[in-house]
A and B are shown apart, each in its own frame.
Chain A
């Protein structure tokens, strides 16, 4: 933390910090390539199995190159399970949760960063403290509560509790603090602008990049979530992750079918990631916490 303040306080006369380990040597590239290969191999392998038929998988030498059965396996996945429904459910949940979390977190973040109100600091400390609370552990009463509300088996059981998060509030507070000038907010207040209007016309446009990153993290987290959907949804109305676990729990293990499903479930998130890798990597390096 001290380094950031030092960097801003000292006039930018210092040379741009040179990376510590010196120049990238051929060995570095070789090692990185090896790491990258092991990072990507399971995905490649998923594709290989998903495009093979089960008899090829059962041979002494496993198939190492993709086969020609991908389309057939995909249609088998859609035939044998509620997979299209699952994909749509996941899209609905992940999108709604991402939009909601960005909006409500931005509201709270704006208030914490730029508005004065009694108890602000205590409330902010509370927000940060709740990041430590593992919600998984309240899963039994949470399940009973959703049953009471009549939400079990329905998507709102996944959506409503996730509409705002402590991490989101914290993230947006930082973003507002860095990008929304205090003077601008105060000037707008002097002009008699309502706080809602200030939020909408002054704060929101300025924090758009941070909001986009938070939205992506939230989307990926909601798409990949497993424990709570497994508990609260039923196999007739699943998300992708629940549908995958159903594919996997059959008595007879159909690997081609399983990994085709896995491939289909991974593709949307992977596509989003590849499109916005730079922002996502930057977001993690800016101190994103496991969500």
Chain B
């Protein structure tokens, strides 16, 4: 009898911790965010009453929101696209017969294990206006120093450099794993057909690992749309407010959420931003999935 009870009940006890914790700390907050976005809610004082979609219409009429959205998309594009291309090339390099394989693989992964906070602080210094090493290098070739955080394009470039530096090696290893599963016969027949290494890479390797490429695209998209720590810490002065520069030149949506919620205590607006961001992320993920499906089906 005891044994039968054990067989029937214990499996549920084993999986229960996950579902309990997810319900409390994952699902509930996400649903509560939707609820709060329909209220005039102050972080400390609490619920100020139901206001329908007013938070949403305020948000869509708010130039700072659109600014943050454009910044987020810009940062996402200029960090993800080069990152994935470089990772592809790097994976191809790592996929050759190499001495000290583990050394090279571990080496390219180092940036990924370093905390984003430390990385952002280091790059803030590297891109510093007065004593930064990038400006010093520019000076060596006779160019004027750039006040990196001050302008939209320069701050975006610098922040994209942080993201690219941190994630390229990681993506390269994912590609490498996929490349190693490509059957060798395909390369041999390509070689018999007289294809160069370069041609074989584009006609054999890339099509064969397409699902992996799309997987990394989805993951990078989700990560890229929620960019927070890199821009927050990019300029040390005033890092704690989340405005992203004096003219909000590099404020992302997640930073705007942080500013609304934890600097201005407007929890209702912050919840609205969170929910809109969630929808944007979901939309991008759906687009990605649709592309995955089509390309996989077409093969």
Contact = CB atoms under 8 A, between A and B. Distances in A.
Interface of A: 3-4, 6, 15, 17-25, 28-29, 31-32, 35-36, 38-40, 42-43, 45-46, 49, 57-58, 61-62, 104-105, 107-108, 110-112, 115-117, 120, 123, 126-127, 130, 132-145, 160-161, 163-164, 166, 169, 189, 192, 194-196, 199, 220, 223-224, 226-227, 231, 240-241, 244-245, 248-251, 253, 255, 258-259, 261-263, 265-266, 269-270, 273-274, 277-278, 280-281, 284-287, 289-290
**Main SS at interface, chain B:** helix
B97 A137 contact: no
B250 interface: no
Given A3-B183, A281-B102, A290-B223, A248 B121 contact: yes
A46 B97 contact: no
A248 B237 CA distance: 7
Contact of B107 (A39, A226, A265): A39
B187 A20 contact: yes
Contact of A140 (B165, B169, B233, B267): B267
A262 B174 CA distance: 28
A138 B113 CA distance: 26
Interface residues of B, number: 108
Contacts of B197: 21-22
A194 B96 contact: no
Nearest to B236: A248
Contact of B131 (A58, A136, A224, A284): A58
B67 interface: no
Sorted nearest first, the 3 A-B pairs with minimum C-beta distance are A138-B29, A141-B32, A277-B106
B122 interface: yes
Given A22-B197, A24-B99, A161-B21, A192 B3 contact: yes
B36 interface: yes
B126 A45 contact: yes
Contacts of B78: none
A138 to B, nearest CB: 3
Nearest to B106: A277
B122 A195 contact: no
Interface in B24-75: 24-30, 32-33, 36, 43
Contact of B238 (A199, A249, A289): A249
B98 interface: yes
A19 B181 CA distance: 10
A130 B110 contact: no
DSSP class of A's interface residues: helix, strand, loop or mixed?
A: helix
Contacts of B287: none
B236 A49 contact: no
28 contacts: A20-B200, A21-B92, A28-B98, A45-B122, A108-B18, A110-B14, A111-B11, A111-B14, A117-B8, A120-B11, A134-B278, A136-B226, A137-B278, A138-B26, A138-B32, A144-B267, A226-B116, A226-B117, A244-B115, A255-B128, A259-B121, A266-B115, A277-B105, A280-B109, A281-B106, A284-B173, A284-B177, A290-B223
Interface string B224-241: 001011001100111110
Nearest to A272: B113
A22 B190 CA distance: 13
A252 B267 CA distance: 31
Interface string B67-94: 0000000000000000000000010111
Contact of B173 (A132, A250, A281): A281
Given A138-B274, A227-B228, A258-B236, A108 B96 contact: no
Contact of A19 (B6, B10, B96): B96
Contacts of A112: 15
A42 B126 contact: yes
Contacts of A117: 8, 11-12
B133 A21 contact: no
B180 interface: yes
Interface in B122-152: 122-126, 128, 130-133, 136
Given A32-B93, A126-B19, A258-B125, 19 more contacts: A4-B181, A18-B187, A38-B165, A111-B15, A123-B15, A123-B19, A130-B27, A135-B30, A138-B30, A140-B271, A143-B43, A145-B25, A161-B21, A195-B10, A227-B258, A253-B236, A280-B109, A285-B176, A287-B177
A52 B238 CA distance: 25
A234 to B, nearest CB: 12
A245 B18 contact: no
A132 B136 CA distance: 43
